[in-house]
Structure 1
Amino acid sequence: MTAWGAYGGQGAVGVWLVGARGSVGVTTIAGTAALCAGLVPPTGCVTARREFSSLELPRFDELVFGGHDIAPTGLLERAERLADEGVMPPGLPRLVRDGLLAAEEEVRPGVAGTGPGPGGRSGRPPGQEEAIRRLTDDILSFRRRLALERVVVVNVAPPGPAVPPRPAHASLSALRQALAAGERVLPDGALYACAALRADCSYVDLAPPPGGELPVLAELAVERGLPYAGGEGGSGGALLRSALDPVLAHRALDVRSWSGGRVRGGRRTAREQVSFEGFLGARMALRFSLQGCESALTAPLVLDLARLMALADRAGVRGPVPELSFFFGGPAPDAPDGREGPLEERYAALVDWAHGLSVPV
């Protein structure tokens, strides 16, 4: 058993959070410490269900946290603010103080503002290649110092702006040439993905930029022999869409638009509206709201994805993992008409995939 007062050691699995000091990151770290102390049940954790009980997933007390962030506010102070906002129970930050401080020791400065600019070149040091090397070294140092069996990198930072397609996004050879030439061709979020994969860590992106992930990242994951997954996960809108979109599709109703605000942070009310067309062109709409906290929905999924990706890494899974689409708000790979498949089918596929992994003894 890995004690929270003594990070690392045999059997420990690192969870490196990009955006560690954000609401999702802090809720994940504090929540895991609370789980290990027996203060709370694993509510919202899919992998705590009986369907996954026989799998060799890392235990919650075997997860060790670190990460990157550009925010100056420490994990403990951030947790106290979240408790004041009602995101976590009052007094919890004090009860899990040691876990938060231990994780704080493993947080390193992130990167910002290195993304593509006009013309694709940067006159501002450091370049993107240098930034990737520095991020990679941070992750490697984390794994080496704490003697971790493996590390899963999960991006829980807010999504960055959309980046126009570039030739360097299409292939690894083109990307390497562009980076070597000092071009700024990647969004900041992709720098973390490159660093994770170069450090031989599986990677999950819960904050892809608008328009989705870059094909070159999936190619890099295959080349490095590592599992890779990404999509919008955990938000209230994603949760509701995953349930409602298949229903509307099965009823052959033509969805025209789905709009709503993406909320992160404290307790808020998020409003969503789906407009669709019925028989004889009748225009209709569903309006609903979700009152609560986005990070409380996302944090248990971070734990699920970290545990499953650690298992997939042990089993030698390479490249994108479509079975993890259950956790994301986007359409399942190869779904007809780009729609999401029925949620129960996606869950069954996830369970079958997890049980079918062959893990070396």
Structure 2
Amino acid sequence: MTRPNSIRPPEGRLAVLLPGMGAISSTFITGVLLARKGLGLPVGSLTQMGTLHAGGRSIRMDEYLPLARMEQLVFGGWDIFPDSVYETALHAKVLEPEHLGPVREELEAIRPMKGVFHPQYVKRLHGTHVKTGATKAELVEQVRADIRAFLRDKGCARAVAIWCGSTETYVAAAQVHASRRAFEAGLRKNDPSITNSQLYAWACLQEGVPFANGSPNLAVDFPAAAELARHHEVALAGKDFKTGQTLMKTVIAPALKARMLGVRGWFSTNILGNRDGEVLDDPESFRAKEITKRGVLEDILQSSDSPALYGELFHKVRIEYYPPRGDAKEGWDNIDLFGWLGYPMQMKIDFLCRDSILAAPLVLDLALLMDLAQRAGRIGTQDWLGFYFKSPMTEPGRTPEQDLFVQERRLKDSLRALMGETTGAD
């Protein structure tokens, strides 16, 4: 990344628009509101708590970068259920009531706009708060109108959008995704390859709103979206928040590869009981998630370079819906590895994590960094933000980087370059 000629200052209010205002969004919004009042720390957020080396010293990111402040953020979004953010947070049971109480009035005031919902893409949910229209093109125009009205009514200078909705059934890129003209024709014809998330993304891009995809959905990862982003000079990023089990894979797998230890098998299973778990209980939705989770090891270990070590790797991923666990997900990994002379060893990882607690700081960072990229004139795929995703989007012809520490270095190097600094060690 090179330094832009100028970066517009972060003046005015920044709308953070969230398609999907469930557990992740309510946890994110509550955390920001509490942090504003000094009642909580934004743990896990690089922009708020991280540092980098620049100018010969270590400096906090929020002091070094011209980021919007948390006080400037205004929250809105869409959902297929009409509950306020407070009601959603109570239902999700991620946060304890004592954390919701101090900001209850603010949370109750945030209610979602009606969502775009075609149930064939998320079969386990039955929305009651949904838009209607004869064509998908009409629905895009309704979302565009929502964006304009929200910015006007809330007095916001600009917006960013972060997809926090459910995983859709797997959809492969088709001819309708090949160009802007083909996609717009598909919207008018209600093409079945155009999903709910793509309608939100298309509306945001049309309105000049940068869009980051926190799910494995085919929301913006196709040529027509890239073409539209270039036309409207909008930043894109994605896909699929890297939170629990996959976060651990991007740490452990590079360590094994660095020591040239072989891997014969890697079995991963998850149990969770939130809405995400219910949606992923559908095999077609799980397929989309499985692809992003499985691709991590393949990209890191590069079996073609070391066939004796990784050429026969058996990798299996499972997600099980288990209602008693709620948002407190458990990710369990069994790794069958081998060392000197082929002698077998095992590693077992049991990560009892909280899905929305890990995702919330990613939403904050992506909102602020996507806004920074937009103000700096960065157009199209922001692959330097791959640190935050399971399946990082890249420009055509580029291979995504999956090693967490390489991703971190690239993120910080890119931010230094944005500010006109030479690359430094962190």
TM-score, structure 1 normalization: 0.84
Q: Deviations over 1:174-228 (max 9, x none)?
A: 2122223343331211111111111110000001227993332223222211110
For 2:103 and 2:347, how far apart are their aligned partners in 1? 41
Q: Matched residue of 1:309: which SS?
A: helix
Pick one of 137, 140, 146 that aligns with 1:138. 146
2:105 counterpart of 1:44: no
The residue identity in structure 1 corresponding to 2:113 is R
Alpha-carbon spacing, 1:346–1:217, altered in 2? closer, same or farther (3 Å) = same
**Do the aligned partners of 1:234 and 1:294 also contact (CA within 8 Å) in 2?**
no
1:268 aligns to 2:269 (yes or no): no
Q: For structure 1, which segment, 50-59 or 292-301, has the greater mean C-alpha deviation from structure 2 after superposition?
A: 50-59
- C-alpha contact (below 8 Å) 1:227/1:320 kept by paired residues: yes
Q: Secondary structure at the match of 2:107?
A: helix
Partner of residue 255, structure 2? 247
RMSD, aligned CA: 3.0
The yes-or-no answer on 1:101 pairing with 2:105 is no
Question: More displaced, 149-158 or 339-348?
Answer: 339-348
**Displacement of 1:258:** 4.9
SS in 2 for 1:130: helix
Residue by residue over 1:22-72, the C-alpha shift from the partner in whole angstroms, topping out at 9 and shown as x without a partner, is 100100111111011110112111111233121110111111000010023
Q: Distance in 2 between matches of 1:267 and 1:352?
A: 34
Correspondence 1:75 to 2:85: yes
Q: State the secondary structure of the residue aligned to 1:158.
A: coil
Q: What TM-score comes out, normalization by structure 2 length?
A: 0.72
2: CA distance, partners of 1:340 / 1:284: 27
Per the alignment, residue 409 of structure 2 pairs with: 348
Equivalent residue of 1:184, what SS?
Answer: coil
The reply on whether 1:299 has 2:307 as its aligned counterpart is no
Partner of 2:378: 317
Gap change, CA 1:186 and 1:110, over 3 Å in 2: same
In structure 2, the residue corresponding to 1:149 is in which secondary structure? strand
How far did 1:137 drift? 1.1
**Residues 200 and 162 from structure 1, CA distance in 2 versus in 1: closer, same or farther, beyond 3 angstroms?**
same
Question: Distance in 1 between the 2:135 and 2:183 partners?
Answer: 14
Q: Report the alpha carbon displacement of residue 333 of structure 1 after superposing the two structures with TM.
A: 4.5
Does residue 1:112 correspond to 2:117, yes or no?
A: yes
Asked if the contact 1:10–1:148 (Cα under 8 Å) also holds between the matched residues in 2, the reply is no
Q: Which residue of 2 aligns with 1:17?
A: 18
Q: Give the distance between the partners of 1:97 and 1:90, measured in 2 at CA.
A: 10
CA distance in 2, matches of 1:326, 1:278: 29
Cα distance, 1:339–1:170 mapped onto 2, change above 3 Å: closer
Kept in 1: contact 2:82–2:114 (CA 8 A): no
- Matched pairs, number: 338
**Where does the alignment leave 5 or more consecutive residues of structure 1 unmatched?**
1-8, 117-123
How far, CA to CA, are the matches of 1:58 and 1:25 in structure 2? 19
The aligned counterpart of 2:222 is 214
How far did residue 339 of structure 1 move? 7.1
1:186 correspondence with 2:194: yes
Cα pair 1:152 1:203 within 8 Å, conserved: yes
Q: What is the aligned partner in structure 1 of residue 351 from structure 2?
A: 290
Q: Which amino acid aligns with 1:95?
A: P
Q: Which amino acid aligns with 1:138?
A: D
Residue 115 of structure 1 contacts residue 187 of structure 1 at CA under 8 Å; is this kept in 2?
no
* Cα drift, residue 238 of structure 1: 2.4
The residue number in structure 1 matching 2:26 is 26
User: What letter is aligned with 1:108?
Assistant: M
Whether the 8 Å contact between 1:172 and 1:220 is mirrored in structure 2 is yes
Report the Cα offset of residue 114 of structure 1: 6.6
Give the AA of the match of 2:29. Answer: I
In structure 2, C-alpha distance between the alignment counterparts of 1:39 and 1:134, rounded to whole Å:
37
Q: Is the 8 A contact 1:111 1:188 kept in 2?
A: yes
CA contact 1:13–1:150 (8 Å) conserved in 2: yes
Residue aligned with 2:44, SS: coil
Q: Helix, strand or coil: the match of 1:261?
A: strand
Amino acid at match of 2:192: R
Give the residue type in structure 1 aligned to 2:32: T
Mark the runs of 5 or more structure 2 residues left unpaired by the alignment: 1-9, 53-60, 122-131, 275-325, 421-426
> CA separation in 2, counterparts of 1:212 and 1:14?
20
Q: Percent identity?
A: 29
Q: Partner residue of 1:3? A: none
* Structure 1 residues 169 and 220: CA distance shift in structure 2, 3 A: same
Deviation per residue, 1:70-95 (Å, 9 max, x gap):
0233211222334xx4x223322121
Distance 1:128 1:331, change over 3 A: closer
| Secondary structure of the corresponding residue to residue 96 of structure 1 | helix
Aligned 8 A contact 1:115 1:184 in 2: no
Amino acid at match of 2:269: G
Equivalent residue of 2:28, what SS? helix
Answer whether contact 1:30 1:99 (CA < 8 A) is retained: no
Distance 1:161 1:287, change over 3 A: farther
